[in-house]
Structure 1
Amino acid sequence: MQVSPNSPIRLALVAYPGVQRSALEGMADMFALLPRLTGAGAAGAAVDLIRVDAGNRPEAAVDAFVFPPSLEATQAAPDHPLVHWARDRHAEGALACSVCAGAFWLGQAGLLDGRPATTHWALEAGFRASFPGVKLQPEHILIDDIDVVTAGGLMAWLDMGLHLVGLWFGADLATRLARHLLVDPAGREQRHYAGFRPPRSHGDVAILGVQRRMDTDFADPLPVAMLAAGAGMSERSFLRRFLRATGMSPAAYLQRLRVEKARGALERGGESTAGIAWAVGYRDVSAFSRAFKAVTGLSPGAYRDRFRIAAGRRG
């Protein structure tokens, strides 16, 4: 997701019951530093910070929201107003993020079902019991699954903040911010920033619904006729509106989405290339390898060797 110079990011920090206040304020301070690092005007790194709590839940669209960590045993309830707020904002296209125990809130909102995610290692048993459908990987500090990003550990809000700065404003600014904070980015788990960030702020509700379906059903055959019917359009109208909203055809979009999912799996390691190919929708490993190399310039094996993330620190 690249930000145009005149389009400030609207970032919501969620102050849920029991939230770690130092993390909440720390993230706010990180983004407040960006104008100082980018010079006068700071038009290229503008972030509008919004504070959200149970009594203040703005309905205006946001680009992203973060549930920070917690020092208390407070757990999210499925009917909590902030759970509904998060689900609605994500459905509108917002990037959903959590740190440590904040993942319980995304879990209650149903945003982690079937996805890889992480949280603090000490919360593993309780999280698995509450959300058995989530592919929990607590050994990782940060997992980016395109429209949902989770981080584990009480201090992983630093990783989350640097990651978001890198996604929105580039690796150079993320590195400058890390140096300013005296945080060593080497060894911290940050994704390769040039990943697939499909546009979601185009305002076409029907096409956004199709994108959401592709996010979850990417491994299934998704013919144009099926997607158009689900959107209530003729194939011709659907193809025209999808191209206008996303800048690519449904087939190209699905290929990029599958490759991005595969990139994350290869970076986290563990599964075989054939298993990853199958999991993202390719029944022919050779076809998967060709598609992957066409997008990334590397074979799956070479990509794994270059970008594989070491297991995160525990704590």
Structure 2
Amino acid sequence: MDATQNPKAEIGILLYRDCQQAMVHGMTDLIAIAGQFSGQHGGPPLRVSHWRMQADGSFARCHDTHDGRPGAPDIWLVPGRLSGVPDAEEAAPYARWLLDRHAQGATLASNCGGAFLLAATGLLDGRPATTHWWFAEPFRARFPAVKLDCDRIVIDDGDLITAGGLMAWTDLGLRLVDRLLGPTVMLDTAKFLLVDTAGREQKHFARFMPRMTHGDEPILKVQHWLAAREAKSVTTAEMAAQAALEERTFQRRFKAATGMTPIEYVQHLRIATAREHLEFTRRTIDQIAWSVGYEDSAAFRKLFHRLVGLSPGDYRTRFAAPSAEAA
């Protein structure tokens, strides 16, 4: 990078214990590459700095891609962590720092579990955000006021930007490049890095992870019963009977325990099984629809697309295992 050029903006990455190094260094490289392409078009570079909390609780830069006079980052990024998420006590000093930076006009962004640090500021309350689908339930439990949408890869809400799981930092990085340097440089960067810029959603990848730790034993009994029979040919009345509850009471308690109606829950179970068939067998889509309890193939395809974001055929094209066996 030509140090005589003034950067268009500075992106500060906030480091903390066990944060995802792939994002830290990958984002640094992505932004540097974007700056090089910007220069080829006569535009300015971007600058990336890494920041770490000091023993006295202050924060200082520990890496900088520009040799000029230090400034203040315009955008702050919080990476995720491979080993769980920060608890409230660990998040507190980082949240205070981010809250102060936001008050001074900076944009805040997170990737994966970094959303827990960002949400700890309170700034996400009442606003849309995403994180890794694996962390959806603990995030909702800890930050119920946030409008969490784990189907999406990136949610750009102006001054707050959140990205989904792990490798979603590539999508986040390209979004920032597009915002700061424009679509031409963004596309040049994506092509160079072999990153697909077509719209992706986390629900293409997410697995159904039902709530099982709610403590309602009759509902848990029904959940185990449904899993054992793969939710085939089952009615709400039959589920209520398994729980030994009156049907309306069962529906109310089931929704409170699982976050879904009984019918929605059964649909997710069936589609989860269908995904496995699409990945590991060569059965036709009609055969798979029938095997998971749908006599109407068109209805199955419509539901699959709504829950997964892809048609069954497109899902198989993307995710089928090479060793998939014939029916």
- TM-score bracket, normalised by the shorter chain, equals 0.5 to 0.7
- In structure 1, give the amino acid aligned to 2:188: R
Matched with 2:77 is 66
- In structure 2, give the amino acid aligned to 1:159: D
Matched with 1:32 is 32
Question: Radius of gyration: which is bigger?
Answer: 2
Q: Distance in 2 between matches of 1:43 and 1:85?
A: 35
Give 1:166-205 correspondences, 5 Å limit: 166-188=178-200
- Superposed CA deviations along residues 21-67 of structure 1, whole A, max 9, x for unmatched, are 11110000101112432346x86232221111222614963210111
Q: Is the 8 A contact 1:76 1:108 kept in 2?
A: no
- Superposed CA deviations along residues 51-86 of structure 1, whole A, max 9, x for unmatched, are 112226149632101111210124143563222111
- In structure 1, give the amino acid aligned to 2:8: P
Q: Is the 8 A contact 1:61 1:89 kept in 2?
A: no
How far did 1:141 drift? 0.7
How far did 1:98 drift? 0.4
- Give the total of aligned pairs: 188
Matched with 1:52 is 51
Give 1:182-261 correspondences, 5 Å limit: 182-188=194-200
2:176 to 164, 170, 173: 164
- Superposed CA deviations along residues 232-282 of structure 1, whole A, max 9, x for unmatched, are xxxxxxxxxxxxxxxxxxxxxxxxxxxxxxxxxxxxxxxxxxxxxxxxxxx
1:75 to 57, 80, 86: 86
Q: Percent identity?
A: 40
The question of 1:23 aligning with 2:35 is answered no
5+ residue gaps, structure 2, are 62-70, 202-307, 316-327
Matched with 1:134 is 146
Q: Is the 8 A contact 2:150 2:164 kept in 1?
A: yes
- Superposed CA deviations along residues 72-105 of structure 1, whole A, max 9, x for unmatched, are 1241435632221111101111110001100000
- In structure 1, give the amino acid aligned to 2:166: L
- In structure 2, give the amino acid aligned to 1:116: P
- Superposed CA deviations along residues 206-236 of structure 1, whole A, max 9, x for unmatched, are xxxxxxxxxxxxxxxxxxxxxxxxxxxxxxx
Q: Distance in 1 between matches of 2:30 and 2:173?
A: 7
5+ residue gaps, structure 1, are 190-309
TM-score in terms of structure 1 length: 0.55
Q: Which has the larger displacement, 43-52 or 147-156?
A: 43-52
Q: Distance in 1 between matches of 2:88 and 2:117?
A: 8
**Runs of 4+ residues over 4 Å off in structure 1:** 310-313
